[in-house]
């Protein structure tokens, strides 16, 4: 019989809000999540005022702690071992645009097996190379190409790829959405100059996720709402936001939340390789980037991913007055699980769900991370 672990404290309820209660873990899954006093003394001690949340799921992370996944796809494993420090229990390693002929070798080199007590890679997010050069952001323009059948065949590997983000207004873009879906991969929309009408057409074609709202998109205008306006409508696909206080002004974060709420939004880190490192010069794919401790930029000032992780995003949403902790936690766990279609076993503290948990202290810092019932990180 598997050993039981008892944890007691304020926990997030599946329906939202907090309750004083306990969690019983057995065999890597949650056996019971109750309110009130636990049936026996806790086997894991938590600090006063700690809160128990579902583990964070990051749908867009380009690297971190010095690892650049575009240059080193084998860096997934060491990255996964560090992410529990930031409350992340599962993630989509994200590969930015690369030369189209290199993708077969890159995908082959990606090791998605879970490392011991590391965050679980759930499949790759390929952000590009089917992006609009007009909205390329920090992506290398010479690597961008059209989503032809031949080019798509280099990327479509359902055993490894979970999400492919593209600009659907490109020639062949709408047809590519259907081919991606047919392969069992999620199609996302990113780095796009799509009009409102083109965006709605892409949604009808099968787009299931919007990547970093507002960033690398046609601006929201009162006569041209564009992709931003289309995604803000309640019937549209869920989308990610980078809550670092730099990509999006706090007022815009509050507006986005008022439009879609926690059900429609996922927090993403969009962490660049310098995240978690000291200020300095680093690489992002083929480009040199500078990190000053708060943001990551190309030499010309263009933002190139972020310097935050998921725990930073959760704290920022609360401290910037966007929403309460329960809603921020949902955007970091249950809503990403819904995007991936795994919300029947991840993203909630409920019986039968994976025992992936993050415990935050009174300052909303990560105190402990549990993955599959085992302590993957504990603050010293």
Write down the H helix ranges in the chain.
76-82, 103-109, 149-155, 173-182, 196-205, 226-232, 250-264, 310-319, 325-332, 334-340
pLDDT digits (tens, 9 = 90+) for 152-176: 999 999 999 999 999 999 999 999 9
Q: What is the mean pLDDT of the chain?
A: 95
pLDDT of residue 326: 97
Same domain assignment for residues 28 and 106: no
- Answer whether 0.85 is exceeded by the pTM: yes
Read off the CATH number of the domain in which 43 is found: 2.30.40.10
Same domain assignment for residues 284 and 357: no
DSSP state of 212: S
Same domain assignment for residues 175 and 45: no
Same domain assignment for residues 63 and 34: no
Residue 115's pLDDT band (cuts 50, 70, 90): confident
Average pLDDT value for residue range 231-254: 97
Same domain assignment for residues 218 and 186: yes
Same domain assignment for residues 354 and 325: no
Read off the CATH number of the domain in which 67 is found: 3.20.20.140
Same domain assignment for residues 132 and 257: yes
Residue 10's pLDDT band (cuts 50, 70, 90): very high
Which of 42-46, 216-220, 252-256 is modeled with the greatest confidence? Answer: 252-256
Number of domains in the chain: 2
Structural domain that includes position 88: 55-340
Same domain assignment for residues 147 and 61: yes
Same domain assignment for residues 320 and 197: yes
pLDDT digits (tens, 9 = 90+) for 92-109: 999 999 999 999 999 999
Whether the CB-CB separation of 154 and 147 falls below 8 Å is answered with no
Active site amino acids = 270
Tell me which H or E stretch contains 161.
strand 161-166
Same domain assignment for residues 158 and 237: yes
Same domain assignment for residues 362 and 240: no
Average pLDDT value for residue range 30-46: 87
Q: Which two tokens stand for residue 111?
A: 């090791």
Same domain assignment for residues 85 and 149: yes
């Amino acid at each position: 019989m598997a050993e039981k672990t008892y944890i007691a404290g304020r926990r997030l309820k599946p329906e939202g809000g907090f309750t004083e209660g306990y969690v019983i873990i057995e065999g890597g899954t949650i056996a019971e999540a109750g309110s009130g006093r636990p049936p026996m003394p806790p086997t894991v001690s938590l600090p006063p005022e700690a809160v128990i949340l579902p583990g964070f799921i990051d749908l867009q992370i380009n690297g971190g702690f010095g690892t650049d996944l575009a240059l080193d796809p084998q860096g997934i494993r060491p990255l996964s071992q560090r992410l529990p420090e930031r409350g992340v229990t599962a993630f989509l390693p994200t590969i930015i645009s690369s030369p189209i002929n290199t993708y077969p070798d890159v995908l082959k080199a990606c090791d998605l097996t879970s490392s011991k007590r590391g965050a679980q890679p759930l499949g790759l997010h390929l952000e590009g190379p089917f992006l609009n050069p007009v909205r390329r952001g920090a992506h290398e323009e010479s690597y961008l190409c059209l989503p032809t059948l031949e080019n798509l065949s280099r990327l479509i590997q359902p055993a490894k790829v979970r999400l492919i983000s593209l600009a659907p207004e490109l020639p062949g873009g709408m047809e590519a959405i259907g081919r991606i879906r047919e392969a069992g991969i999620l199609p996302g929309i990113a780095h796009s100059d799509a009009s409102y009408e083109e965006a709605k057409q892409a949604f009808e074609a099968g787009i299931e996720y919007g990547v970093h709202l507002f960033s690398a998109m046609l601006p929201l205008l009162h006569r041209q709402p564009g992709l931003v306006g289309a995604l803000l409508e309640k019937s549209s696909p869920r989308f990610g936001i980078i809550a670092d206080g730099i990509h999006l002004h706090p007022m815009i974060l509050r507006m986005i939340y008022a439009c879609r709420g926690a059900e429609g939004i996922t927090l993403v880190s969009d962490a660049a390789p310098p995240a978690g490192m000291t200020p300095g010069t680093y690489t992002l794919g083929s480009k040199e980037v500078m990190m000053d401790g708060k943001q990551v930029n190309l030499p010309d000032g263009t933002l190139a991913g972020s310097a935050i992780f998921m725990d930073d995003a959760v704290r920022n949403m609360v401290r910037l007055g966007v929403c309460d902790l329960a809603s921020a936690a949902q955007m970091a766990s249950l809503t990403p699980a819904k995007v991936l279609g795994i919300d029947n076993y991840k993203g909630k503290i409920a019986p039968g769900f994976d025992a992936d948990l993050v415990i935050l202290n009174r300052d909303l810092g990560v105190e402990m991370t549990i993955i599959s019932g085992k302590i993957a990180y504990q603050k010293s």
